[in-house]
Chain A
Amino acid sequence: NAGVTQTPKFQVLKTGQSMTLQCAQDMNHEYMSWYRQDPGMGLRLIHYSVGAGITDQGEVPNGYNVSRSTTEDFPLRLLSAAPSQTSVYFCASSYKGILGELFFGEGSRLTVL
């Protein structure tokens, strides 16, 4: 099983550019989420989804959009990148929703210049 697959692993953007971080899981998990990891701040929840067609905001949603058209995919869109969005992004999924163990992707390191 591939588990949770994130692409790209590294990306450099200029301020104002847009991009999409892809996340796919092959475990048929209903719950998927995006976190950003910044030094000294742990992981902060950006957006999450409890199933196809359902998304909701987390702790730091501003500047990010998500959609969930299928169970497998949960892309994260940066509409107009800002230097404050320089971070490592993790996608995670769970078979028991927020009560369960999270399976994480390998992370995507994004730098916004």
Chain B
Amino acid sequence: AQKVTQAQTEISVVEKEDVTLDCVYETRDTTYYLFWYKQPPSGELVFLIRRNSFDEQNEISGRYSWNFQKSTSSFNFTITASQVVDSAVYFCALNGNKLVFGAGTILRVKS
């Protein structure tokens, strides 16, 4: 069975702080993909990143970075120098034969 756990229900930070959102997954598949999606207060869901199970290189995109570690089955997401516009719900997702989402982490960035 596939499972995604986002243990942090809600995180509050002050603008310019760095913040890491945790994602731990379970799967028996050897080939799988991991995703992060963002849901801002307006409600739409926006794709952020996809990573396959054979690529453990960390990825950086501007203030966003992702740390994929197969040894700990984690795919964590860090926002550097957070901004108010980063306030959103962030979902981690995993697919093997079906796409499964975590429960999401609410990030509140205060000015």
* A interface, CB within 8 angstroms of B: 33, 35, 40-45, 48, 58-59, 88, 90, 92, 98-104, 106-107
Contact = CB atoms under 8 A, between A and B. Distances in A.
Given A101-B47, A103-B47, 4 more contacts: A33-B99, A42-B102, A43-B91, A98-B99
A59 B104 CA distance: 17
Contacts of B25: none
B63 interface: no
Contacts, number: 49
A104 B102 contact: no
18 contacts: A33-B99, A35-B101, A41-B103, A42-B6, A42-B103, A43-B45, A43-B91, A45-B99, A48-B98, A59-B98, A59-B100, A88-B43, A92-B45, A98-B95, A101-B50, A103-B47, A106-B43, A106-B44
